[in-house]
Structure 1
Amino acid sequence: MERVLWLIIMIPIGILFTCLGICAWRRKKPMWFWSGREVRETEISDIPAYNKANGLMWTAFSAVFWAGAVLGLFQLDIAGIVVAVGTIVGIPLLVLTYKRIYSKYKR
C-alpha cells in the first residue's frame, strides 16, 4: 500500500513538471519563472531558444520525481532520500539556472 501511495504522489508531480517543460518549449511568448513576474517579448533576444532552455530546465527537474517513482517500486527509503535531496538541491538550482537563462537571452 505504501508503494501505491508513493506512486500516486510521484507520478502526477513528474507529469506536472514534464508538462511544464513541454509547454515552455512550445510556447510562442517568453516563458516566465514561477515567481509570477511576466517576461515581456521585448526583454528576450531569442524567444525560441529561451523557451527551449526553460523547457529543458523543467524537464530535467522532473527527472527527480520520475527517478523517485521508479526507485519507490524497489526501495522506498532510498526513493525518499533521492526526492528529498533532489528537491532541496534542485529548487535553488532552478533559480540559478533560470537566472543564467534569463541573462543569456536578455536584450
Structure 2
Amino acid sequence: MGERIIFMVPVMLCAIVFISIGIYSINKKTPMHFWSGTTVKTEDISDTKAYNKENGIMWITYGSTYILSAMASFFWKSSIGTMIGGLSASVGLIILIFVYHRIYKKYQA
C-alpha cells in the first residue's frame, strides 16, 4: 500500500500541473504557446478563443491520463499504473506534439 501512495503523489502532482495548464489556456486572452521560449502572435491565429479552448482540452486530456495512471495503481495493481504512466510520459508526449501541430494548422491565419 505504501508504494502505491508513493507512486500516486508525484503522478497526481503532474496531473495537476497539466490540467492547470489546460485551464489557463482556456481562460487566456492571447494565443497559448506550446514550446518553451516561444510565443504565438495574435495575428497568426484566426480564432484565438477556439484555438485556446482546443489547446486547453488537449492539456486537460493529457493530464487526465496521469490521473488514470494513479487511480489504476491505487485501485488495481501498481504495475498497471506504472505502464499507463510510462505510456503517458513517452508515447503520450509524442501524441501531444502531433495534436498541437494539428490545432495550430487548423487555426493558422
TM-score under structure 1 normalisation? 0.95
Q: 71, 80, 92: which one pairs with 1:90?
A: 92
Residue 32 (1) aligns with residue 36 (2): no
Give aligned pairs, total. 107
Where in structure 2 are there 5+ consecutive unaligned residues? Answer: none
Aligned to 1:77: 79
Find runs of 4+ consecutive structure 1 residues off by over 4 angstroms.
Answer: none
Output the aligned Cα RMSD.
1.0
Return the alpha-carbon distance in structure 2 between the equivalents of residues 37 and 69 of structure 1.
32
Deviation at 1:92, TM superposition (A): 0.9
Structure 1 residue 35: Cα displacement = 3.5
Q: Structure 1: any 5+ residue segments left out of the alignment? A: none
Q: What is the identity percentage for the equivalent residue pairs of Structure 1 and Structure 2?
A: 34
Give, as a single letter, the amino acid of the residue that structure 2 aligns with 1:37.
T
Aligned twin of 1:63: 64
Are the equivalent residues in 2 in contact too, given 1:64–1:87 (CA < 8 A)?
A: no
